[in-house]
Structure 1
Amino acid sequence: MGLTVAPSNLWFLAWIALIPLWIALSKSTLTATLAGFLWGCGYHGLALFWITGIHPMTWMGVSWLNSLIIAIFCWLLITFWGAILVTIWSYILHYIITHNLLKLKLISPIFIKIFLGVTIWCLLEKIWSFSPLWWTSLSLTQSPYNLAILQLLKISGTTTITALILLINGLFAENIILIINNKQHFYKDKYNLIANAIIILTITHGIGYINYQIKISNNPLEVINIGIIQGNIPNEIKLYDTGLKTAIINYTNGYNDLAKQKVDVILTPETALPLFYDDIKNNSSFYQTIIKQKIPLWLGAFDQIKNNYTNSLFFIDKEGIVITKYDKIKLVPLGEYIPFSNILGNLIDRLSPLDAHLIAGKKNQILNTTLGKVIVGICYDSAFAENFRFQASKGGEFIITASNNAHYSDAMPFQHHAQDVMRAIETDRYMAKATNTGYSAIIDPHGNTKWISQLHQYQTHVGKIYRRNTKTLYVAKGDWLIILLTFLMMSYFFSHYFRGDRSNQ
């Protein structure tokens, strides 16, 4: 399963990759639980191996050895956190199977098992998405390549895709188990469950493809000509004088070039200028360029709040006045703050001189600009769909994201792009994204990448996005599918409990 995520184009393997784990659920408790843990390590460990790209951090004053230790520790931590999810799922489902909890009149135990497997996994993913360490939903395996199935994100977000992947794998696996145990005589057709899986897979992809083929209705009156600057300031110099001077030169030149093309607004990456905004306004030649050219700008910088500061994206109008700003909500664990600091803080402090001074922005931010209501995300925010859904439900008309992925290996920027593709589809919105070293891009509401930059190159681009006011079922109702599945699961367990209670009387 770890091979299915971007930048690999092996998304189709996700529809069979769970079969060995599913088969192991009927074995001993140790086998089932260990299989879950190892499968989780394989998936999350491979998918998130890009985190090791933070090594070496010698440019930050961290010794080579300590840098290696930090990188390995980060990788093992996020791998273990993901593996716990799969381990819990395996243990719970194994317990249900071995404790005879799959009985219900008129419904085959196989279908109850598959239903519970789908529901429990989706519920665990939902719980994990509230944690600070979240990236690798099973739905990510289909992005950005399988755009047909990704259209179903509009129904109930990532739960829709995750549930389908579990369902198909479960049907395949249960048919294989029947064949192995020579119990295929229970069904008229030896391959009945496999046939059902193929039919469901075909129908869902067909529905998605039909929706994908529907022409996007763009109102010419709602067009925004947006200029994007990819500054390409390597992290090795970004926070030092050399990097700051290079950033001011690159963003000034980019701003001037785009201003000549009469764009409506210009977008810069996360912390394009790693300074407090007041310092930029009072001491930077870049601010004078804004006053001169009079083109609105989204500027990535810091904002000081008492003794702390936020990672922010400022919307500056043509007069150089900050109309509004967005503060990054989801800070990067271990990079921008220390999760579980009571436990891990002392260890990290011994290994690294880094300090975590950032504070998270408030949830449920609503941004009104001269260009309309905007849905905004900064970097790690892209992994958390609810933030985008909420802003869309409150009238957000298009999406912008600003990021800096220069810390990691080259696999990470494309996975980040895959996350952004899903956010655009879920909300049925155009997205413009600026990233320090790539990938910057423009994405349409069907998830098509209309333009994408090169990695590690300074680039500017002018593209068109459109304001939209549609509401998908997911935007309007949220993740209703997980609520429905959980309700049905609890109803099943309650009915099973009361039936068992009566039978004991």
Structure 2
Amino acid sequence: MLLPLAALTGAVNVFAFAPYGLWPLQLLTLALLIFCVNRAESVKQAALVGWAYGFGWVAHGVYWLYISMHDFGGMPGWLAALAVALLALAMGLYTALCTGLALWLHRRWAASPLLLALAIFPALWGLTEWLRGWLFTGFPWLISGYAHTASPLAGFAPLVGVYGIGCISALIAGCLALLPQRRLPAVAALLILVAGFCLHRIDWTAPSGQPISVRLLQGNVPQEEKFDEAQIGNTLRLYADMIRAVPADLIATPETAIPILQTQLPPEFPAALIAFSQQTGSNIALGIPYIDGPNRYANSVIGISPQGNSAAHPGFRYDKQHLVPFGEFVPFGFRWFVDMMNIPLGDFTRGARVQAPFSVRDQWVLPNICYEDLFGEEIARQLGATMASGAPTATMLLNMSNIAWFGNTIALPQHLQISQMRSLETGRPMLRATNTGTTAVIDPHGNVSAQLPRYSRGTLAVSVQGYSGSTPYILFGNRLLLAAALLMLAGSWWWSRRRRQ
């Protein structure tokens, strides 16, 4: 009975995230998990409880992967459902590692329940979530910190990032788990929330240059038509018309808005865009797959600027560096799995780890493509690297996505919430141009200032102010979290040893 209850608790945790936004649930469900670990009869039982919690959490949170594999990939329904379940079981292993190891250390060190709840578990929670974010290329979707883009804990994002917020939320959950025996930790939890609220009032970055006019295009091209050869001509005409409808300092399309390689474009298409750019002074960020030679394909953004370009030699180019397993590269030994899905362009070449931003008047725009904005440390690293070298540093971020693969599901607001966290961490606005939603503008404090309705065709026209400067997270990335977690574990060991002596 305990395992189904843990799985149900993990599933309820999903309501803490977008689109529901009931962030206190994240603290309460995690407190219940800590309470169960503290009373587990064995390390094995604690690990199984954590595994069940993680399974329910991920299975409910990313069920929409079934749509991409079955509805659009053509995979048999039973196999697509099995794949989602196996992914949830695999992600649950990280939670199992946290809960099992927490109880093992608690017993081996003869640590008090107070140390387990307030130091050992929060430290391991932060470390295992960080591990989930990079091991096997990482899958940090629905990491616990994302539930807090609108909570007082959002104030900690510029310091310790999303994984640090997860660690802090586990600390608060530990305080709640101790409530039946102790009241003082509840005061500590309240003080942490107040500290986060105060930190959120700090402006880590400052306005830079003049605002630019921005037009973000949402083509709403049905996914089943996107790569249909009979529809490609219509898609090219659609985006040519949307781009040239009104001039703007920056006009951005979604990811792979142009679903064919640059070498397959009819000559009149790039010529029309280049002429429009030069005549109106508009800069265009165009999502298109790019070929550099045999078996060298990149998921790219090319920049067309008034200074002059050609389709073969664009003035700016950004190549996606963090590729999606199975969708953009084939993990070793899984070619058979990918071959069962009818998804085109499934094996790309990685872009460089640090790439230059796109110059738009006196602003600098750093693109990231779809799934890449899950990896805040990589975006922070790019900003930090350009600052350190003295090169132009991005004053705003641009996410270009196509998540029509997942239908009109909670995946869309979840992805918007992920982008909100990137703005919080970097102190910079985030522009989002998507195919079906959610196309939006996010301010440097993580607030959505404008957006288009999902699954509609339209253009979001806004004026956006760039921001410069650095947050602690840009400077140190996840190192502050790792140092704090290791200190918490070392302190727990030292205190327990001293207590025994």
Shorter-chain TM-score tier: 0.7 to 0.9
Report the equivalent of 1:3. Answer: 15
Distance 1:209 1:18 in 2: 24
Q: Is the counterpart of residue 37 in structure 1 residue 48 in structure 2?
A: no
Distance 1:265 1:52 in 2: 35
Deviation of 1:284 (Å): 4.4
Distance 1:443 1:353 in 2: 31
Report the equivalent of 1:247. Answer: 235
Once the two structures are overlaid, the 10-residue window that deviates more, 236-245 or 488-497, is: 488-497
CA deviation map 1:360-413 (0-9, x unaligned): 222122235354433221000011001211222222211111000100032111
CA deviation map 1:199-256 (0-9, x unaligned): 433x234314534xx698545x421111111111111000013431222122111112
Report the equivalent of 1:67. Answer: 76
Report the equivalent of 1:84. Answer: 93
Q: Any unmatched runs of 5+ in structure 1?
A: 103-107, 179-189
Report the equivalent of 1:391. Answer: 382
User: 1:18-33 maps to which residues of 2 (within 5 A)?
Assistant: 18-25=30-37, 26-29=39-42, 30-33=44-47
Report the equivalent of 2:389. Answer: none
Which amino acid in 2 is paired with 1:4?
A
The one of 349, 356, 371 equivalent to 1:380 is 371
Report the equivalent of 2:274. Answer: 290
Report the equivalent of 1:320. Answer: 309
Aligned alpha-carbon RMSD (Å): 2.6
User: 1:269-308 maps to which residues of 2 (within 5 A)?
Assistant: 269-280=254-265, 283-294=267-278, 295-306=282-293, 307-308=295-296
Which amino acid in 1 is paired with 2:142?
T
Report the equivalent of 1:433. Answer: 432
Relative to structure 1, the CA distance from residue 460 to residue 482 in structure 2 (aligned partners, 3 Å threshold; closer, same or farther) is same
Paired positions, count:
468
Which amino acid in 1 is paired with 2:174?
G
Q: Is the 8 A contact 2:110 2:496 kept in 1?
A: no
Q: Is the 8 A contact 1:159 1:482 kept in 2?
A: yes
CA deviation map 1:124-171 (0-9, x unaligned): 11121113323121011123x43x431320111113311221011101
Report the equivalent of 2:62. Answer: 48
Deviation of 1:111 (Å): 3.2
Report the equivalent of 1:167. Answer: 171
Q: Is the 8 A contact 1:2 1:45 kept in 2?
A: no
Report the equivalent of 1:488. Answer: 487
Report the equivalent of 2:123. Answer: 119
Q: Is the 8 A contact 2:207 2:468 kept in 1?
A: no
Relative to structure 1, the CA distance from residue 86 to residue 284 in structure 2 (aligned partners, 3 Å threshold; closer, same or farther) is farther
Q: Is the counterpart of residue 422 in structure 1 residue 421 in structure 2?
A: yes
Deviation of 1:112 (Å): 5.5
Once the two structures are overlaid, the 10-residue window that deviates more, 468-477 or 419-428, is: 468-477
CA deviation map 1:399-434 (0-9, x unaligned): 111000100032111111000011011111112110
CA deviation map 1:168-213 (0-9, x unaligned): 110111233x3xxxxxxxxxxx523233323433x234314534xx
Distance 1:124 1:245 in 2: 47
Distance 2:495 2:446 in 1: 43
Partner SS state of residue 136, structure 1 = coil
Which amino acid in 1 is paired with 2:216?
I
Distance 1:19 1:368 in 2: 45
CA deviation map 1:109-131 (0-9, x unaligned): 61365211111111111121113
Distance 1:498 1:488 in 2: 15
User: 1:395-474 maps to which residues of 2 (within 5 A)?
Assistant: 395-409=393-407, 410-474=409-473
Which amino acid in 1 is paired with 2:435?
N
Report the equivalent of 2:350. Answer: 360
Distance 1:310 1:496 in 2: 52
TM-score (norm 2): 0.86
Partner SS state of residue 175, structure 1 = coil
Deviation of 1:329 (Å): 1.6
Distance 2:492 2:195 in 1: 29
Q: Is the counterpart of residue 346 in structure 1 residue 336 in structure 2?
A: yes
Q: Is the 8 A contact 2:175 2:186 kept in 1?
A: yes
Q: Is the 8 A contact 1:325 1:367 kept in 2?
A: no
Which amino acid in 1 is paired with 2:60?
L
Which amino acid in 2 is paired with 1:288?
A
TM-score (norm 1): 0.86
Relative to structure 1, the CA distance from residue 92 to residue 216 in structure 2 (aligned partners, 3 Å threshold; closer, same or farther) is closer
Once the two structures are overlaid, the 10-residue window that deviates more, 92-101 or 228-237, is: 92-101
Distance 1:425 1:226 in 2: 21
Q: Is the counterpart of residue 142 in structure 1 residue 148 in structure 2?
A: yes
Partner SS state of residue 19, structure 1 = helix
Deviation of 1:23 (Å): 1.5
Partner SS state of residue 204, structure 1 = helix
Report the equivalent of 2:328. Answer: 336
Relative to structure 1, the CA distance from residue 444 to residue 151 in structure 2 (aligned partners, 3 Å threshold; closer, same or farther) is same
The one of 74, 79, 97 equivalent to 2:106 is 97
Deviation of 1:444 (Å): 0.7
Report the equivalent of 1:184. Answer: none
Deviation of 1:98 (Å): 2.5
CA deviation map 1:409-467 (0-9, x unaligned): 32111111000011011111112110011111111101111111111111112211222
Instruction: Say which one has the larger Rg.
Output: 1
Report the equivalent of 2:249. Answer: 264
Q: Is the 8 A contact 1:258 1:462 kept in 2?
A: no
Deviation of 1:493 (Å): 7.1
Distance 2:64 2:325 in 1: 15
Relative to structure 1, the CA distance from residue 264 to residue 370 in structure 2 (aligned partners, 3 Å threshold; closer, same or farther) is closer
Deviation of 1:78 (Å): 2.7
Q: Is the 8 A contact 2:109 2:493 kept in 1?
A: no
User: 1:152-163 maps to which residues of 2 (within 5 A)?
Assistant: 152-163=156-167
Which amino acid in 2 is paired with 1:405?
I
